[in-house]
């Protein structure tokens, strides 16, 4: 019994000792309660993740209603299969009256459809999108997230080859959901962004990523003139064009425009997408709504990028700025003393990175404003004052580039917004008008009656006005000068590379609907 009691007392003292040691260890060593601390940390992390998740869901729910799907329909004339080809008419001497009857026969037409995205930017129904989404479309339909469909009016475009590839539409409706503009200049590399659009026709698709880089250029040269893109790894695919790039505050910071793809076997997204900054898009949009066209500042010089070798040759430590290759006579740059071989380093206190950046910076400055321009002339910096001019239309710029005399300051008169030029052998070959006569449409003014028709396009050949044959610019001018304001004329127009139609135009600008 005594022995049993001794064992009991020994066991009891052992338990007390173990408990005391455990308490001592817990107080002196913080590593033992790891499981409890980890559980608390995980729970706290989950709370942060859940809050971030709810924040993303909330901003998406706020932004999605203002991003719409755009559906287009384009009617393409198809050459009449019974029409005699040019070589047949030449060799077999088909009578003129028979050729005319074949030409005037009803044209076959083929319809093509397109899909894209757009952003509602005002409660009254203005919508921002890409020009290539609606280019040459005969019908434009806007589909809201709830399924409502609206016929859209084209307010104005800024085509890519001469601008930013933006367009503005207008639909009816009141108190529409709006996506407010954010400050794209405040974006930082690595910042979270969200893309909303209709890839492959799947409306209201949302993807998330980051801002990879800013000020990207030389990616779409030849397709877009003014390149100052936001690069993002946010997945963007076909149909996302014209959709929204949104920051974490639910603000519009970019208009999704283009992607780089892998190869023919991988034509979709590879993590490199481009968006037009919202500040640039807003400026273009306001001008299109206000006047139907975009006015841009202009220096009047030819420029190129610098390589490391050229930078050294022209007295710079690294490639920066834009190298002047030609100064056109009578232009703002010529009047201010800019010379060939100058490197433009700064315009209006903005350091110039490269050629595309100079184009974008100058274009964003108001016409007629005097700006400071810093140039490097063989290593010696000089400061000049230049009063910016208005960027001339493409045909005038082309004439300047080729060294042909032209009056770039003149705002030439046009009939219903159409500017024409004589058909040359070069133009005939370019647009497929060999063996024809008429005048070529060289430019169509934004917001004009001709632009609203959508049947007319640059390169089309005007061959008749009110059933009178047109052979040259003199014939064209003679017939349109006598047309009173508000009167209508009927033109026969041959399209580039085949097909044609009769078009009725009203002389004088038609007021835009508000």
Asked whether the beta carbons of 165 and 179 are under 8 A apart, the reply is: no
Of 354, 513, 452, 350, the C-alpha closest to 137 is 452
> What residues have CB less than 8 Å from 384, skipping those under 6 apart?
336, 337, 338, 372, 373, 374, 375
Of 184, 203, 212, 241, which is the active-site residue?
A: 241
Host H or E run for residue 311: helix 308-313
Query: Does 241 participate in catalysis according to the annotation?
Result: yes
Neighbours of 464 (CB within 10 A): 18
> What residues have CB less than 8 Å from 324, skipping those under 6 apart?
301, 302, 303, 333, 338, 339, 340, 341, 342, 343, 344, 375
Q: Are strands 205-216 and 252-259 parallel, antiparallel or unpaired?
A: unpaired
Of 248, 240, 244, the C-alpha closest to 191 is 248
Asked whether the beta carbons of 331 and 301 are under 8 A apart, the reply is: yes
Of 117, 158, 165, 357, which is the active-site residue?
A: 165
> What residues have CB less than 8 Å from 51, skipping those under 6 apart?
none
Helices vs strands, H then E, count in the chain: 13, 27
Q: Which segments of 64-159 does DSSP mark as H helices, in order? A: 86-92, 96-103, 131-134
User: Collapsing DSSP states into helix, strand and coil, what is residue 487?
Assistant: coil
Query: Does 433 participate in catalysis according to the annotation?
Result: no
182-196 per-residue burial string, b: 16 or more CB within 10 A, e: under 16: bebeebeeeeebbbb
Q: Are strands 205-216 and 153-158 parallel, antiparallel or unpaired?
A: unpaired
Of 143, 20, 167, the C-alpha closest to 71 is 143
Is 340 exposed, middle or buried (CB count within 10 Å of its CB: 0-12, 13-18, 19+)? exposed
Asked whether the beta carbons of 463 and 493 are under 8 A apart, the reply is: yes
Query: Does 132 participate in catalysis according to the annotation?
Result: yes
Please report, for residues 196, 274, 429, the alpha-carbon distance to residue 116 in angstroms, rounded to integers and kept in the order given.
11, 15, 33
Dihedrals phi, psi of 488, to nearest 5 degrees: -115, 150
The two structure tokens encoding residue 80: 């009449």
DSSP per residue over 343-391, as a string?
EEEEETTEE--SHHHHHHHHHTSPTT-EEEEEEEETTEEEEEEEE-EEP
* β-bridge partners, 64: none
Of 178, 167, 165, the C-alpha closest to 68 is 178
* β-bridge partners, 469: 464
Query: Active-site residues: which are they?
Result: 132, 165, 241
């Amino acid at each position: 019994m005594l022995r049993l009691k001794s064992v009991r007392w020994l066991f009891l003292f052992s338990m007390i000792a173990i408990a005391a040691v455990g308490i001592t260890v817990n107080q002196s060593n913080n590593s033992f309660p790891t499981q409890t601390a980890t559980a608390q940390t995980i729970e706290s992390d989950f709370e942060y993740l859940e809050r971030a998740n709810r924040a993303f869901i909330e901003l998406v729910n706020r932004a999605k209603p203002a991003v719409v799907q755009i559906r287009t329909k384009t009617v393409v004339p198809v050459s009449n299969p019974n029409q005699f080809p040019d070589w047949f008419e030449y060799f077999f001497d088909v009578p003129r009256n028979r050729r005319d009857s074949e030409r005037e026969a009803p044209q076959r037409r083929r319809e093509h459809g397109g899909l894209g995205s757009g952003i509602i930017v005002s409660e009254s129904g203005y919508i921002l999108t890409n020009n290539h989404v609606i280019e040459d479309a005969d019908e434009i339909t806007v589909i809201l997230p709830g399924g409502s469909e609206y016929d859209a009016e084209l307010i104005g475009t800024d085509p890519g080859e001469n601008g930013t590839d933006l367009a503005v539409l207008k639909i009816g409706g009141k108190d529409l959901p709006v996506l407010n503009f954010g400050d794209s200049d405040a974006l930082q590399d690595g910042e979270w962004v969200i893309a909303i659009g209709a890839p492959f026709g799947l409306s209201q698709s949302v993807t998330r990523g980051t801002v990879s880089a800013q000020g990207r250029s030389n990616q779409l040269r030849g397709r877009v003139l003014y390149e100052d893109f936001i690069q993002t790894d946010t997945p963007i695919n076909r149909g996302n064009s014209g959709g929204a790039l949104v920051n974490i505050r639910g603000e519009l910071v970019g208009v999704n425009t283009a992607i780089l793809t892998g190869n023919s076997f991988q034509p979709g997204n590879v993590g490199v997408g481009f968006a037009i900054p919202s500040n640039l898009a807003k400026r273009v949009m306001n001008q299109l709504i206000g006047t139907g066209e975009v006015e841009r500042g202009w220096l009047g010089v030819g420029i190129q990028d610098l390589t490391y070798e050229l930078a050294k040759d022209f007295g710079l430590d690294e490639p920066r700025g834009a190298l002047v290759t030609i100064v056109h006579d009578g232009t703002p740059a010529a009047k201010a003393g800019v010379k060939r071989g100058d490197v433009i380093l700064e315009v209006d206190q903005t350091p110039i990175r490269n050629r595309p950046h100079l184009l974008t910076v100058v274009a964003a400055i108001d016409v007629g404003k005097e700006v400071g321009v810093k140039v490097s002339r063989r290593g010696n910096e000089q400061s000049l004052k230049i009063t910016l001019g208005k960027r001339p239309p493409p045909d005038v710029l082309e004439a300047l580039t080729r060294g042909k005399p032209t009056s770039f300051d003149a705002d030439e008169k046009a009939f219903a917004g159409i500017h024409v030029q004589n058909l040359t052998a070069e133009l005939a070959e370019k647009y497929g008008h060999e063996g024809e006569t008429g005048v070529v449409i060289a430019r169509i003014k934004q917001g004009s009656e001709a632009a609203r028709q959508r049947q007319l396009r640059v390169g089309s050949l005007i061959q008749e006005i009110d059933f009178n044959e047109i052979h040259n610019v003199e014939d064209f001018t003679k017939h349109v000068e006598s047309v009173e304001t508000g009167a209508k004329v009927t033109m026969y127009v041959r399209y580039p590379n085949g097909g044609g139609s009769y078009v009725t135009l009203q002389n004088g600008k038609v007021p835009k609907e508000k």
